Amino acid sequence: MIPELGHFALILAALVSLILGTLPMIGAHTNRQAWIAVARPAATALAMLVTFSFACLTQAFVANDFSVVYVAQHSNSLLPIEYRVAGVWGGHEGSLLLWILMLTWWAFLVAVFSRELPDTMVARVLATLGLVGFGFLLFILLTSNPFERLLPGAAEGRDLNPLLQDPGLVIHPPLLYMGYVGFSVAYAFAIAALLSGKLDAAWARWSRPWTMAAWIFLTLGIAMGSWWAYYELGWGGWWFWDPVENASFMPWLIGTALIHSLAVTEKRGSFKNWTVLLAISAFSLSLLGTFLVRSGVLTSVHAFATDPRRGIFILIFLVAVIGASLTLFAARAPKVGLGGRFGLISRESLLLTNNVLLVVACATVLLGTLYPLLIDALGVGKISVGPPYFNAVFVPVMSPILFLMGVGPFARWKEASVPEIAKAVKWALAVGVIVAIALPLLYGQWYAMTALGIFFATWIVVTALLNFIERVQHTRAGRGFLATAASQPRSFVGMHLAHIGVAVFVVGVTMVGSYQDEKDVKMAPGESVDVAGYHFTFNGVKAVEGPNYVAAQGDFDLAVNGQFVRKMNPEKRNYHSSAMPMTEASIDAGLLRDVYVSLGEPIDRDKPEGEWAVRVYYKPFVDWIWGGCVLMSLGGLIAMLDRRYRVKARAAANLPAGTQEA
């Protein structure tokens, strides 16, 4: 009965989303206050209905209700409770329900926290989100019903994919989807602004915190996915340029450009059309990535043929959303104007250059992701686009972005001069060159790409510190340095912290790419292997029993300079419901390095107590990759919480149409 209630709640949610998407939109256009007032309660009702439906599906998983097809396919009575809950989004139907759940929560938050905004603007924003939600709910109800019954019910479920039975499943998809879906709010604000014709500083200020919130979630989601792959897959990689990874990375690149573009629109009134186009693009790429991944198109161009309803619906929905948005943009954009003018050398021009480079970087990733699919679909052959392509085209595009990150904060708005900027950054340039030359030599081997990465990282950190000190000195007004530093706007502090996070990330990528060491060896009990000064001794394996698996657990002693450090216990797991073995690596993590060991396969399957294939790694600074992402997210959070946004939003809401604050 509970699954039927969940299904009925989805049907009601579809009706409510249709009402939300039509009445407030028409009311805002015709100035009918009663229809405008429908927006907030409808958004609340929609969130409650979808949450109830999601809770019903969760209950079916927790209760092992194998009469529900989706539960029978993705769960098992032996599955630990945390993975039964996470199993809700472990397959196609449940992940789409999670997507719509996130969308309704975002809409609810907009309804609650945007009371200082004009009612007509909120009505248009929520209506746009309602229409998107209606499309998703139709998709779920018509092609991907998670509550479909299996009669008679199965005695036991097939179990969750062993690869997904990890804490990463609990954390990674919700974070990633919150980011994906969060860009729908920026998109909705852009559509509302186009409809109202008010692409002004107030619109940019309203949009900016929501965009940063989505960007924070997406950053953390991508980082969590990278870390999960690193420790779970057993080969120590953190990024593979896999199409699924690329599908989340592309909206992140455009979202990063959007955040900076919104700042310029807010402060200078420039980039209006460009900012709107970025908001549309960010959400469009989120839709494209979500649907391509979930439809199976990224793994096979014939996925549409296996389920024509799903494929056709995807195409129609994508064309409707993207096509309608671009049509509206084409109709409205020429009437907006170019906004504030600026010189060839100015902060605006530098930010615009970085924006364009980020879009180019996204385009290279999009080309590398979709080109093989296009070639296969045309029947002219099969090709594979891997890391060599992405590294060759992506790194050259990102290099000037990293350089301009250090230059931009020193450039004045509207007009700047090269000598003035050069004078401000000369010491950062000198320190960057010295560190770039010295650090690789200290590591024993100098590589040009290593020096380049270290230079950019040092450059970003030093320019950020110099710019911060310069601003504090200019705003002291007789106060102490620390007191003045503590009083700086959160948006300014957050910007520099996020930039430093990028520098930390670059250090991690550079060092692990240049100086990692690995060995694939055959080891019998009692044998040892050395990697980068670390001594691994294999003591054999033993059988261990898990809740729904059996594992061969390795016993390794890790030593440095003859001193015992710790035991390391990698596992090779075999799940009861699946023939697919899973590798669980053992990692000794540290601030400056990770030491990593994983079990391969026994050399003789009949003698698991004998020789094993073993892989050992030394990964310098690898944790700086995810630490940098955390710093970026923290910087975004600090900037998002800037009190000026709330104060100015209230003031801007009372400004006459078309005016802009100084």
Q: How far is C-alpha 311 from the geometric centre of its chain's CA atoms?
A: 25
- What's the Rg (C-alpha) of the chain? 27
Distance CA 308, CA 231 (A): 37
Residue 234 DSSP SS3: coil
Half-sphere exposure of 662 (CA within 13 A, CB side): 0
Outline where DSSP puts E strands in 297-452. none
Quick check: 533 and 560 in contact, CB under 8 A?
A: yes
Distance CA 541, CA 493 (A): 51
pLDDT tens-place string over residues 20-55 = 999 999 999 999 999 999 999 999 999 999 999 999
DSSP run (H or E) holding 344: none
Cis, bond preceding 80 (omega within 30 deg of 0): no
Of residues 616, 598, 588, the one with CA closest to residue 529: 616
Distance CA 170, CA 152 (A): 30
Distance CA 355, CA 259 (A): 10
Which tokens is 307 given?
A: 């389920």
Of residues 169, 283, 289, the one with CA closest to residue 225: 169
Quick check: 279 and 258 in contact, CB under 8 A?
A: yes
Q: What secondary structure does DSSP assign to 3-19, as a single string?
A: HHHHHHHHHHHHHHHHH
Distance CA 229, CA 18 (A): 39
Low-confidence stretches of the chain (pLDDT < 70) are: 234-235, 291, 294-309, 311, 336-340, 376-377, 381, 644-662
pLDDT tens-place string over residues 209-224 = 999 999 999 999 999 9
Distance CA 156, CA 378 (A): 42
Cβ-based neighbours of 255, under 8 Å, separated by 6 or more: 179, 183, 186, 211, 214, 215, 218, 282
Q: What confidence score (pLDDT) does residue 655 get?
A: 43
The residues that bridge with 530 in the sheet, in sequence order, are 535
Phi, psi dihedrals of residue 555, rounded to the nearest 5°: -125, 110
Q: What confidence score (pLDDT) does residue 232 get?
A: 82
DSSP run (H or E) holding 475: none
Which tokens is 213 given?
A: 């919130």
Which tokens is 398 given?
A: 């990102």
Of residues 268, 306, 175, 270, the one with CA closest to residue 228: 175
The residues that bridge with 595 in the sheet, in sequence order, are 588, 618
**pTM for the predicted model, two decimal places:** 0.92
Distance CA 551, CA 291 (A): 36
